[in-house]
Amino acid sequence: MSQEKESMNIDGMNGLERSLKRVGDVVGAMFLLIVLSPIFLYIYIRQRWSASGPVIYCQERIGKGGKPFKIYKFRTMVVDAEKDGVPQLEQEDDPRLTEFGKVLRRHHLDELPQIWNVLKGDMSFVGYRPERQFFIDKIMEKNPDYQLLFHTVPGVTSLATIENGYTDTMEKMLKRLDMDLDYLRNRSLWLDVKIIFKTVFNI
């Protein structure tokens, strides 16, 4: 089977399911932005009080169609975390983390601003985690099937995120890719619901 045909058939969801998934993303994002606004405010005030630099961290990632977009997070690291300009993999107990950043990372609260990415349509609540082009190039040297992920939008959470942990090695990146491709081939609205509940329980 050619890559073109495989990219057309790899998605386990049909057109109706994809439309319903998008509606669920929009409604869910609007609801969470309202309900979680006190937490957003608390984190903003705490960040301004405990660390210098911007509260929101913005970074370019690659999404659907291989197109770049800006992903948003609460900043958890020192301002000059990549001062030499070379992208570095994040680690679970990264020494570049600030004290409050460790708390945010431990409870995955640094990911909350990505709800805005979901509302905009850059991301979905469930899907493969978007990566930087620097690391995508390295992954594709090992497994070019990464490009099949570009068939759909990336997500805030996934089975790979829950079960594979922080991807601080190339081995973990390749394992995450295998899990993401398996999800894409077999995904359904019910599977997304189960992943969301599993994420909440995990947090």
Q: Which two tokens stand for residue 162?
A: 């829950």
Helix, strand or coil for residue 166? Answer: coil
pLDDT: which is higher, 92 or 194: 194
* Per-residue pLDDT tens digits for 178-195: 999 999 999 999 999 999
Q: Provide the pLDDT for residue 1.
A: 42
In order of 30, 38, 179, the CA distances from 34 in angstroms are 6, 8, 32
How far apart CA 82 and CA 77 sit, in angstroms, is: 10
How far apart CA 85 and CA 11 sit, in angstroms, is: 36
Domain that holds residue 25: 3-202
Task: Please give the helix or strand (H or E) that residue 56 lies within, else none.
Answer: strand 56-62
**Number of structural domains found in the chain:** 1
The predicted model gives 167-183 an average pLDDT of: 91
* Per-residue pLDDT tens digits for 102-152: 888 888 899 999 999 999 999 999 999 999 999 999 999 999 999 999 999
pTM: 0.86
